Amino acid sequence: MAGRLHDKVAVITGAASGIGRGTVDLFVKEGARVIAADVQDDKGERLEEEYGKALRYVRCDVTKEGDIKAAIDLAVASFGRLDCVFNNAGSGGPLENAETVTAEGFDSVMHLHVRAAMFGMKYAVPIMRAHGGGSIISTASIAGLQNGFGPLLYSVAKAAIVHMTTVAAAQLGPMNIRVNCICPGLIATPIFAKGMGLATQVADQTVAAVAEAAKNSQPIPRAGLPRDIAEAALYLASDASSFVNGHALVVDGGITVGPTGDAQTQVYAPFLKAMGIDPGLLEQMSAPPKT
Ligand SMILES: NC(=O)c1ccc[n+]([C@@H]2O[C@H](COP(=O)([O-])OP(=O)(O)OC[C@H]3O[C@@H](n4cnc5c(N)ncnc54)[C@H](O)[C@@H]3O)[C@@H](O)[C@H]2O)c1
């Protein structure tokens, strides 16, 4: 049986690690040919060795417009077409807050996330239009939907990607170019350790510990994995989603639905205490169903 991306060509940025790497693996397995774009050349070269004719690695710093254009042009030069661009490269960025924000911090985060996704779209559109359509996907975040999941600048940038998705979807839909984004929850990758200043090689070793720490962070009792986001990207890249446009697909194990378990009962605890009622009553609310 042909794969779900049989004959399709995709450009994936941030392809060397985490979500991007997981998406490369799944896209190739499903029959796509892939341009893997990143700044980690050693990992990119290993991807080329692993996937042979199905993949080309290109060094592409997504903060540089020319690098993005070159990566997209390489898809046509190498594989003759372009069906999907996955604007995924990113990092946590500076931890500046509303009082300490700097112009440099602001510009670096917006360039890495918002401007890169915008230019990924810009250079894909003429090629996709000429070929009758395509799918543009960007990695936003639950941090772009609500407070509490990332630093200020990162969250603002991800919110901008969500809105860019809706406005661009309206503009490009008539050309059969679909624009969607994915809002991951907590996904076990090196991004957290890198965001805290650890070197990439050290951060790469933290993934298992992050996965262990995150397994009870959301109602689904396991950590989010790159494969979870890759499956969402596969759906959005494939013809199965041909009527899905302008959507922000949340893949977070339910973390954004609100507090669960003990955390949920703790919301009410002060009220019960104020009324002189035993807060122990609340345990019934969070007790798991009897099997
Ligand atoms: N891991 C999570 O919990 C999570 C949650 C929400 C959103 N995201 C988003 O997912 C995307 C992927 O992150 P990840 O968790 O897989 O992290 P990761 O660190 O494993 O992967 C990010 C990749 O982007 C690359 N990259 C960074 N700056 C780049 C640049 N200027 N040009 C080209 N490539 C660059 C890195 O080299 C790396 O390979 C990011 O946009 C991130 O904001 C992650």
Spacing, Cα 91 to ligand 1 middle (Å): 5
- Domains of the chain: residue spans and CATH: 9-258 (3.40.50.720), 259-291 (no CATH)
The answer to whether the predicted template modeling score (pTM) of the entire model surpasses 0.85 is yes
pLDDT grade for 202, boundaries at 50, 70 and 90: very high
117-158 residue pLDDT tens: 999 999 999 999 999 999 999 999 999 999 999 999 999 999
pLDDT score of 285 more than 80: no
Spacing, Cα 38 to ligand 1 middle (Å): 10
Crossing angle of the two packed helices 65-79 and 116-130, in degrees rounded to 10: 30
pLDDT grade for 282, boundaries at 50, 70 and 90: confident
Give the percent of the chain with pLDDT over 70.
99
pLDDT score of 281 more than 80: no
SS (H, E, C) the chain: CCCCCCCCEEEEECCCCHHHHHHHHHHHHCCCEEEEEECCHHHHHHHHHHHHHHEEEEECCCCCHHHHHHHHHHHHHHHCCCCEEEECCCCCCCCCCCCCCCHHHHHHHHHHHHHHHHHHHHHHHHHHHHCCCEEEEEECCHHHCCCCCCCHHHHHHHHHHHHHHHHHHHHHHHHCEEEEEEEECCECCCHHHHHCCCCHHHHHCCHHHHHHHCCCCCCCCCCECHHHHHHHHHHHHCHHHCCCCCCEEEECCCHHHCCCHHHHHHHHHHHHHHCCCCHHHHHHHHCCCCC
Q: What average pLDDT does range 19-44 have in this prediction?
A: 98
72-114 residue pLDDT tens: 999 999 999 999 999 999 999 999 999 999 999 999 999 999 9
To the nearest whole number, what is the mean pLDDT of the chain? 95
List the catalytic residue out of 51, 57, 154, 268. 154
Sign of CA dihedral 238, 244, 144, 156: positive
Q: What is the pLDDT of residue 267?
A: 79
- Distance CA(200)–CA(193), nearest Å, equals 8
Spacing, Cα 23 to ligand 1 middle (Å): 12
Q: What is the pLDDT of residue 44?
A: 98
Q: What is the pLDDT of residue 197?
A: 93
Task: Count CB atoms within 10 A of the CB of residue 257.
Answer: 11
Paired with 11 in beta bridges are 35, 85
Spacing, Cα 219 to ligand 1 middle (Å): 24
pLDDT grade for 189, boundaries at 50, 70 and 90: very high
For ligand 1, mutation pick of 17, 109, 198 (most atoms within 8 Å of CB): 17
Ligand 1 atom at shortest distance from the alpha carbon of 19: 16
- Distance CA(270)–CA(282), nearest Å, equals 11
- Distance CA(124)–CA(244), nearest Å, equals 18
Residue bearing the CA closest to ligand 1, atom 43: 90
Identify whether the C-beta of residue 200 lies closer than 8 Å to the C-beta of residue 194. Answer: yes
Q: What is the pLDDT of residue 90?
A: 98
Tokens of 234: 């596969």
- Distance CA(156)–CA(135), nearest Å, equals 24
Nearest to 128 by CA among 168, 158, 157: 168
The label of the residue with tokens 């000429």 reads 130
Residue ranges lining ligand 1, Cβ < 6 Å = 13-14, 16-20, 38-40, 60-63, 88-91, 112, 139, 141, 184, 186-187, 189-191, 194
SS (H, E, C) 164-213: HHHHHHHHHHHHCEEEEEEEECCECCCHHHHHCCCCHHHHHCCHHHHHHH
Ligand 1 atom at shortest distance from the alpha carbon of 203: 19
pLDDT score of 58 more than 80: yes
- Distance CA(3)–CA(186), nearest Å, equals 28
Has 57 been annotated as catalytic? no
Identify whether the C-beta of residue 134 lies closer than 8 Å to the C-beta of residue 82. Answer: yes
Task: Count CB atoms within 10 A of the CB of residue 171.
Answer: 12
Q: What is the pLDDT of residue 230?
A: 99
pLDDT score of 239 more than 90: yes
Q: What is the pLDDT of residue 192?
A: 95
Q: What is the pLDDT of residue 88?
A: 98
Give the percent of the chain with pLDDT over 90.
88
